[in-house]
Chain A
Amino acid sequence: FNTRKLTYSQQDSAQTLTPESKVISHNNFYEFGTDKTDPKENAQGLKVDPWQLRVDGLVEKPFTLGFEDLFSSFELQERIYRLRCVEAWSMVIPWIGIPLQSLLKRAAPLSKGKYVAFETLYDPEQMPGQRNPFIGGGIDYPYVEGLRLDEAMHPLTILAVGLYGKSLPPQNGAPVRLVVPWKYGFKSIKSIVSIRLVEKQPPTSWNLLAANEYGFYANVNPNVDHPRWSQARERRITKGGLFSSNRIDTQLFNGYDEVAPLYRGMDLKRFY
């Protein structure tokens, strides 16, 4: 699989980045297998060009982006974000992408559109996990995700097309994926082909699989444990082996306090 160099506005950060080799070898992308190393092993043949990303639903101006459009239609920005997995590990990743709000504004949402529904490519020929439930971890494919419109319009929410200066490798969700840094990683849906404005809260894959364990909101929250494990702390994956592993406190909204107003008055234990 060939990645390309990207031109983008860079961001400075004091955080220690997770090494690129780990960002691209430790992935959850069940379409290619459930082990962390499966996606890197099995996804290298993924065809991303041509690609079609359809933006439609309750919008005035639906449109489709092709593979080249993903890199040229909007100005690319670097965003160094913490990524907190629901499995209690985390990384710091230099993404390159576009604010989702730029894309949504171009489509001009109608006032009836209250939620945004996302869908991953469905292509069982290319994705062994979609062919075989034993490989795909029992998820009902295609993988679907969703956000409330105000979450989707928040300036922190991006569509990533690259990381570490280059376009995304397949295991990280090439050619285009969502990144919502204050939510657990499974919200950040990969290899997106459809973004649709809808009226009602859309179904989401992990919620369909185990509703008591994975909610629609999935905001990072140290005070709401997963039913089977604690979410109070996390292991930050940086460089180094066993003895340099770094266990730190998990922060509410993964430390992105600016999103708190989105959830004012909501019981976050109930809407987990």
Chain B
Amino acid sequence: MVSRIHFRPWQILGLKLLIHSLCIGWAGITYYQAVTDQLGGDPVKAILHFTGISAFNLLLMSLCMSPLAKYFRQAQFIRFRRLLGLYAFFYAVLHLLSYLLFELQLEWGMLISEIIKRPYITVGMSAWLILLALSITSTQAMQRKLGRRWQRLHNWIYLAACLIALHYIWSVKSDIVQPALYIAMLAVLLGLRKDKLLKPLQGIWRKISTRA
């Protein structure tokens, strides 16, 4: 039997404060190092990698929350899910802004042509737009307003996570070990939800087979 975890209110508050300070502090320190040239030979690449991988880390962490809640039979884990998801988007915003500001140096034409021409950037941008939509609709007011459609919309997070994994593995030259580890982690997290993810497919399959 798994022992139930119960967070006291001050523990939840403390954990949330910890998440806030880690996410903001880490970004602050890293950008400070990049601006003052203490982040290796190529601070632009270092910042792009740091923001991208942090966004992915946070997204995976937020995807851990509902399996943890189920395992420990403790719904309180869900209270961290939105916060982690929003910080994933926060880092995705930093990622895109840094790409635009420091890599492209505000060549807007180049941004458009790269999004269209480079599959890994197209894919990354699509994931970014999904995260944007989910962030905007993450408030409780929106949740109430959208009702059942809210859940359907927020299921797009699984597609976003897959697109981000693809964006990552496509962007490296040949060193695929780290992206492969991330894909494995994502596969486990999606595997835990296989019933939910396969349901729409089963529906489609049933339709096809009854028609045939």
Return chain A residues, CB-CB under 8 Å to B117.
225, 230
A241 and B170 alpha carbons, distance in the complex (Å): 27
Return chain A residues, CB-CB under 8 Å to B42.
26, 36, 89, 235, 237
Is A134 in contact with B39, judged by CB distance below 8 angstroms?
Answer: no
Return chain B residues, CB-CB under 8 Å to A237.
41-42
A138 and B114 alpha carbons, distance in the complex (Å): 28
Is B102 in contact with A245, judged by CB distance below 8 angstroms?
Answer: yes
**B27 interface contact, C-beta 8 A:** no
**A247 interface contact, C-beta 8 A:** yes
A141 smallest CB distance to B (angstroms): 13
Is B34 in contact with A242, judged by CB distance below 8 angstroms?
Answer: yes
Known contacts A34-B175, A242-B102, A245-B102; decide if A229 and B37 are in contact (CB<8 Å).
Answer: no
Query: Within residues 36 to 93 of chain A, which ones have a CB less than 8 A from any CB in chain B?
Result: 36-37, 87, 89
Is A228 in contact with B170, judged by CB distance below 8 angstroms?
Answer: yes
Is A241 in contact with B177, judged by CB distance below 8 angstroms?
Answer: no
B88-116 interface mask toward A, CB cutoff 8 Å, 1 = contact, 0 = none? 00000000000000111101001000100
Is A245 in contact with B40, judged by CB distance below 8 angstroms?
Answer: no
Q: Is the interface of A mostly helix, strand, loop or mixed?
A: loop
**B153 interface contact, C-beta 8 A:** no
Range of interface residues on chain B?
20 to 34
**B45 interface contact, C-beta 8 A:** yes
Nearest B residue (CB) for A26: B41
Nearest A residue (CB) for B174: A137
Known contacts A36-B41, A134-B177; decide if A228 and B35 are in contact (CB<8 Å).
Answer: no
Choose among B36, B120, B171 the residue that contacts A241 (Cβ–Cβ < 8 A).
Answer: B36
Is B174 in contact with A25, judged by CB distance below 8 angstroms?
Answer: no
B55 smallest CB distance to A (angstroms): 18
Nearest B residue (CB) for A132: B177
**B47 interface contact, C-beta 8 A:** yes
Is B40 in contact with A241, judged by CB distance below 8 angstroms?
Answer: no
A243 and B177 alpha carbons, distance in the complex (Å): 31
Nearest B residue (CB) for A129: B175
Query: Within residues 216 to 233 of chain A, which ones have a CB less than 8 A from any CB in chain B?
Result: 225, 228-230, 233
Q: Please name 27 pairs of A and B residues whose Cβ atoms are closer than 8 Å in the assembled complex, sorted by A.
A: A22-B41, A25-B41, A26-B40, A26-B42, A30-B174, A30-B175, A34-B173, A36-B40, A36-B41, A37-B40, A89-B45, A137-B173, A137-B174, A138-B176, A225-B117, A230-B117, A237-B41, A240-B37, A241-B37, A242-B31, A242-B34, A242-B44, A242-B102, A243-B35, A245-B102, A245-B105, A247-B104
Interface residues of A (CB under 8 A from B): 22, 25-26, 30, 34, 36-37, 87, 89, 134, 137-139, 209-210, 225, 228-230, 233, 235, 237, 239-245, 247
Which 3 pairs show the lowest CB-CB distances between chains A and B?
Answer: A26-B41, A34-B175, A241-B37
